[in-house]
Amino acid sequence: MLVDFLNVPEGALVRPKDPLEYARKLRFQQGVTGMRDYGVAASGLVA
């Protein structure tokens, strides 16, 4: 994302994703210790 964000060709109709948004999300993920942090107990996953 950082590479895309820094290298948008001139005139291109693209909207690269914001790297800082994903840095924020990564900070959340760094604190995850298990499925419970995603709102799901392992037993809650139904086959």
Partner 1 sequence: MAVYTDVAADELAEFLKHYDIGELLSYKGIAEGVENSNFLLHTTAGYFILTLYEKRVAKGDLPFFLGLMTHLASHGINCPQPVKSKSGEALSTLAGRPAAIINFLEGIWPRKPSAAHCAGVGQALAKMHLAGRDFGMTRANALSVSGWRPLFDAAASRADELQHGLRAFIAAELDHLENNVWPRNLPQGVIHADLFPDNVFFLGEQLSGIIDFTFACTDILAYDVAICLNAWCFESDYSFNVTKARAFLNAYGRERKLSDAEQDAG
**Rounded-to-integer distance, Cα 45 and Cα 28, Å:** 22
Tell me the closest approach of the beta carbon of residue 34 to partner 1, in angstroms.
6
Burial class of residue 19, CB neighbours in 10 A (0-12, 13-18, 19+): middle
Tell me the closest approach of the beta carbon of residue 25 to partner 1, in angstroms.
5
**Rounded-to-integer distance, Cα 10 and Cα 25, Å:** 29
Binding site for partner 1 (CB under 8 A): 2-6, 9, 11-17, 19-26, 28-30, 32, 34-35, 37-40, 42, 44-47
Tell me the closest approach of the beta carbon of residue 47 to partner 1, in angstroms.
4
